[in-house]
Structure 1
Amino acid sequence: MHSSELEPAHQQECCCLVPSGCSKTLMARPVASEAGLNFLAVKCPELFSKWVDESEKAVRSLFAKARANAPSVIFFDEIDNLVVIRGKESDGVSVADRVMSQLLVELDGLHGRVNVTVIAATNRPDKIDPALLRPGWFDRLLYVGPPSETDRVDVFHVHLRKMPCGFDVDVSELAHLTEGCTGADISSICREAAISAIEENLNCSEVKMEH
């Protein structure tokens, strides 16, 4: 992706639908890096406040900061915590409803949102208000599934490169045996293998295939 692709006339928002553990957060930062843009990462639960109007103010401040540092990318992690389906509260307008409305205002560009691209990630698309997914706001939905066998080989190499492994450790075989595993699962497998080796022998010098 190049910065020219993010001009206002062609600007699109993107929502990545990613199963848990598939590195949705890690994929967002290279988008800004490749395009040479400033990157603002937000964990959506952190935007909520118990004080009246503070949550909406946090959203306004975020977009103001993005405009001040344009061209920029705003990345909403776990956006399902921020844009839940409206109208579920029976005691008036909830904080979540107000935050959702403020976000829609900002995405609608009423305050001159120029050279600001928004990316969001979620593993619970069923919790997102349908209004946010209509054309004009989040125009593009991308599903990122678990890594393929070839990708799992690369992921194993990443997690094993600093781990002393025996000559019998076959990364290709490990990738074949871990069909359906996510990057987080593979990280856990490598970590547990190291623990297993230590439990077997505190003085062990390498992790073997059996571990």
Structure 2
Amino acid sequence: MDHFNQALATINPSSLRETIVEVPDVKWEDIGGLEEVKKSLQEMILFPMPGCGKTLLAKAVASECSANFISIKGPELLTMWFGESEANVREVFDKARASAPCVLFFDELDSIGTQRGSSHDGTGVGDRVMNQLLTEIDGVGVKKNVFFIGATNRPELLDDALLRPGRLDQLIFIPLPDLPSRLSILKALTRKTPLASDVPIEFIALKTEGFSGADLAELVQNASKAAVRDLINFERSQEVADGAPVEPAESGQVVGRKHFEEAFAQSRCSVSASDVLK
């Protein structure tokens, strides 16, 4: 029997293979800032600024609960064929129940959860998909081993029935990171990055007001790429006499202040002032 138990741990049911089911390795400490949001996570809708870590938060919930994780983008479920969009919604929830305990994360929920009667396309497909979604959410409520999280940048478009008690009755706004949050995010992003001693993380956090988490990740990535380019150029041009070892700082193996300065020249805020006002 022990051998069968060991084999079961390595087998993924064939009905689940088309949908990626994973147990994420994302901990709370991997998410910089968002302390109040972390405390509030239950069955809910997240409505964040773009690039502010909604998917990472959902993965952290699954990881901390040792649950499986399924991530779906709403538009992926919509097709031109009659009845197929509703069937896709049913299939996703069936796979979540088969993978229980499971966190089911719906991104861009407004694409399938819009106000009924608002499409004006004459087909009624939006209303049917919405009704199917409500039915499946109510079915999830019977067994609490499937945890549903939705995310949208347009909460005002959602049907009121989605927000009733017992469904997605908790809305959590995820703002752009403030200074302490940006510092925490930068420390998380550079945890495995060899930084030179001249890199002023606090100053970088101060200089990146208005940056989202995704913007900060791009900044660190561009700085790392600049360091790699320096290393390649150094190895091509430098001839080390008598096989003398090259110091890491000299060879460009660490990310230094000048690399971040180069990265800043390529970086910009992806969230505009008008996006924040919305």
TM-score when scaled to structure 1? 0.81
Confirm or deny that 1:46 pairs with 2:76: yes
Q: Which residue number in structure 1 is paired with residue 152 of structure 2?
A: 122
Once the two structures are superposed, the pairs formed by residues 96-115 of structure 1 within 5 Å of their partners are 96-109=126-139, 113-115=142-144
Considering only aligned residues, what root-mean-square deviation do their CA atoms show, in Å? 2.5
Confirm or deny that 1:15 pairs with 2:45: yes
Change (3 A) 1:202 1:102: same
Where 2:44 maps in the other structure, the secondary structure is strand
Change (3 A) 1:137 1:161: closer
Change (3 A) 1:195 1:33: closer
User: What amino acid sits opposite 1:157 in the alignment?
Assistant: K
Q: Which residue number in structure 2 is paired with residue 35 of structure 1?
A: 65
Deviation at 1:160, TM superposition (A): 3.4
1:65-123 deviation per Cα after TM superposition (whole angstroms, max 9, x unaligned): 222333322111121222122212334343222111100111223x8841222111112
Give unmatched runs, 5+ long, in structure 1. Answer: 1-11
Asked if 2 retains the 8 angstrom alpha-carbon contact of 1:163 and 1:207, the reply is no
Confirm or deny that 1:208 pairs with 2:257: yes
Confirm or deny that 1:150 pairs with 2:180: yes
Alpha-carbon distance in structure 2 between the residues aligned to 1:89 and 1:142: 26
Asked if 2 retains the 8 angstrom alpha-carbon contact of 1:47 and 1:59, the reply is yes
By percentage of residues, which structure has more helix? 2
User: What amino acid sits opposite 1:119 in the alignment?
Assistant: I
1:161-190 deviation per Cα after TM superposition (whole angstroms, max 9, x unaligned): 455544321001111121232111112222
**Which structure has more RCO (C-alpha within 8 Å, separation ≥ 6)?**
1
User: What amino acid sits opposite 2:256 in the alignment?
Assistant: V
Change (3 A) 1:65 1:191: closer
Deviation at 1:130, TM superposition (A): 2.4
TM-score when scaled to structure 2? 0.63
Equivalent pairs, count = 198
1:17-58 deviation per Cα after TM superposition (whole angstroms, max 9, x unaligned): 111010100110121222232322212111111111111011
Identity %: 43
Where 1:173 maps in the other structure, the secondary structure is helix
Deviates more, 1:125-134 or 1:41-50: 125-134
User: What amino acid sits opposite 1:55 in the alignment?
Assistant: S
Q: Which has the larger radius of gyration?
A: 2
1:108-150 deviation per Cα after TM superposition (whole angstroms, max 9, x unaligned): 23x8841222111112212222221122311211112222322
Alpha-carbon distance in structure 2 between the residues aligned to 1:33 and 1:193: 29
Q: Which residue number in structure 1 is paired with residue 113 of structure 2?
A: 83
Asked if 1 retains the 8 angstrom alpha-carbon contact of 2:198 and 2:256, the reply is no
Q: Which residue number in structure 2 is paired with residue 74 of structure 1?
A: 104
User: What amino acid sits opposite 1:14 in the alignment?
Assistant: M
By percentage of residues, which structure has more strand? 1
Change (3 A) 1:95 1:37: same
Asked if 1 retains the 8 angstrom alpha-carbon contact of 2:162 and 2:169, the reply is no
Give unmatched runs, 5+ long, in structure 2. Answer: 1-41, 235-250, 263-278
Asked if 2 retains the 8 angstrom alpha-carbon contact of 1:70 and 1:114, the reply is no
